[in-house]
Structure 1
Amino acid sequence: MEASRKMHDQEQKAAGTWPLSNLVLYSFWQSSCSWRVRFALKLKGLPYEYRAVDLVKGEQFSPEFQRLNPLGYVPVLVDGGVVVSDSFAILMYLEDKYPQNTLLPEDPQLRALNLQAAGVVTSSIQPLHMQSLLKYIEDKFGPEERLLWAKTHIEKGLLALEKLLKGFAGQYATGNSLYLADVFLAPQIAVAVSRFKIDITQYPTLSRIHESYKTVPAFLASIPEAQADASH
Structure 2
Amino acid sequence: MSDYTLYGHFNSQPATRIALFFNMAGIPFTYRHVDLRTGQQKSPDYLAINRFGRVPTLVHGSVSVTESPVILTYLAEKTGRFGGRDESEKRRIAEWLSWLADVLLPVQRARALRKFNGDANALPWIDAAAASGLAQFDEHLSHHDLIDGDRVTIADIFAFPWIDLAEEAAVDLAKYPHVADWRERMRTVPGVLGQYALMPQHDVEA
Q: Is residue 2:152 matched to residue 1:162?
A: no
Structure 2 gap ranges (5+): none
- Residue equivalent to 1:103: 83
Query: Could you say what secondary structure the match of 1:50 adopts?
Result: strand
Query: Could you say what secondary structure the match of 1:103 adopts?
Result: coil
Q: Which of the two has greater helix per residue?
A: 1
Rounded to whole Å, the distance in 2 between the matches of 1:61 and 1:127 is: 25
- One-letter identity of the residue aligned with 1:124: V
Q: Against the structure 1 CA distance between its residues 129 and 173, is the aligned structure 2 distance closer, same or farther, given a 3 Å change threshold?
A: closer
Q: Against the structure 1 CA distance between its residues 211 and 129, is the aligned structure 2 distance closer, same or farther, given a 3 Å change threshold?
A: closer
Q: TM-score, normalised by structure 2?
A: 0.82
- Residue equivalent to 1:218: 191
- Contact 2:107-2:162 at 8 Å conserved across structures: no
- Contact 2:104-2:130 at 8 Å conserved across structures: yes
Alignment of 1:61-100 (within 5 A): 61-99=42-80
Equivalent pairs counted in the alignment come to 199
Specify which of 156, 175, 181 is matched with residue 208 of structure 1. Answer: 181
Query: Could you say what secondary structure the match of 2:5 adopts?
Result: strand
Alignment of 1:88-167 (within 5 A): 88-99=69-80, 101-106=81-86, 108=88, 114-126=93-105, 129-130=108-109, 142-143=119-120, 145-167=121-143
Once the 2 structures are TM-superposed, how far is the Cα of residue 77 of structure 1 from its aligned partner?
0.1
1:187-207 alpha-carbon deviations (Å, 9 max, x no partner): 1112322x2120012112111
- One-letter identity of the residue aligned with 2:84: L
Give % identity: 27
- Residue equivalent to 1:5: none
Q: Against the structure 1 CA distance between its residues 210 and 102, is the aligned structure 2 distance closer, same or farther, given a 3 Å change threshold?
A: closer
1:36-75 alpha-carbon deviations (Å, 9 max, x no partner): 1111122222210011112233221122111111211111
Once the 2 structures are TM-superposed, how far is the Cα of residue 84 of structure 1 from its aligned partner?
0.3
Query: Could you say what secondary structure the match of 1:73 adopts?
Result: coil
